[in-house]
Amino acid sequence: MIDQIAALNTLRKELPDAIGWTTFGPYLFHAPAEMVTGDNRYVCTHIAIYNESDTTLTDVRLLYCGNFTFTPRITYSRHEAAVKWQHNAEDKELLLRGIPPNETVDISIYNPQDFEVVQVLVHGKKITDFMTRRALAKAFPTPLRWRIALTLMCVFGFSVLSYTSWQTYNMVKSNSDYELLSSIPKGFSGCQPYVYDNPPDGSGEKQLERLIKQESRWLNFILAMNNAEDTNELHIKDRVVLCKELKKS
């Protein structure tokens, strides 16, 4: 148990930090009429950088291609303080300093011109898709009711699948048994043939031997139905036709 806990802790330490980013847009919006005259329309691209790790990110570089017209608006989503950032237009990158743990930086790019985020680096390392998925999962955890509903749906789906498989198996087996029984000659009036499945692993051997002894009075008919000369041949068959005595009404 202790070894398993230690292994889980080691695995957790080896997971990458929950740091990620997403982008939305460009989308069109109108400036308020009180601020401008005429019909002023603008385009904006929104970028969010998530730090769901336990450390402060002191060196974040957002590399982009294309251009934009106005100064970006860069703010924290929780922390009421100015974000420390710089714009390196020559190398086409935005530099961010000091993103606290469990904080999101929102970046608005106005009037982008073929603008696209190429990649985001944290302390010189690229933020991967897996890191982004971890960050989003921590930033937007699934509500408890949805997790319960999802679990119930999975259980229900598994139950339906199991029931369908069981029904299909029974249907196929019934059809197969019917075809086998319909191919054998009719026996005595007091004997009702049926199919016994004899698994190759030998797990049904004792039961088969017991049934043969119980139905010994019909042994000659059983051997004839199975095209067997003796009971040894019955034991090596996967499906054996046996005979059950009919109850008199």
Query: DSSP assignment of 179-231, as one string?
Result: HHHHTSPP--TTEEEEEEE--TTSTTHHHHHHHHHHTGGGHHHHHHHTT-SSH
- Counting DSSP H helices and E strands in the chain, the numbers are 6, 11
pLDDT in tens, 49-85: 999 888 899 999 999 999 988 899 999 988 888 999 9
Query: Global pTM?
Result: 0.52
Q: Which residue has the higher pLDDT, 127 or 243?
A: 127
Instruction: Tell me which H or E stretch contains 105.
Output: strand 103-110
Highest mean pLDDT among 2-11, 19-28, 95-104, 176-185: 95-104
**Helix, strand, coil shares, percent, the chain, to 5:** 35, 35, 30
Which amino acid belongs to residue 199? P
pLDDT at 180: 64
Token pair 């075809």: residue: 179
What is the Cα–Cα distance from 245 to 44, expressed in whole angstroms?
84
Highest mean pLDDT among 6-15, 35-44, 84-93, 150-159: 84-93
pLDDT in tens, 91-150: 999 999 989 998 999 999 888 889 999 999 999 899 888 888 888 888 887 665 555 667
Confidence of residue 241 (pLDDT cuts 50, 70, 90): confident
What is the maximum span of the chain, computed from C-alpha positions, in angstroms?
106
How many CA atoms lie within 13 Å of 200's alpha carbon, on the beta-carbon side? 0
What is the Cα–Cα distance from 115 to 68, expressed in whole angstroms?
7
**Encoding tokens for residue 246?**
């009919």
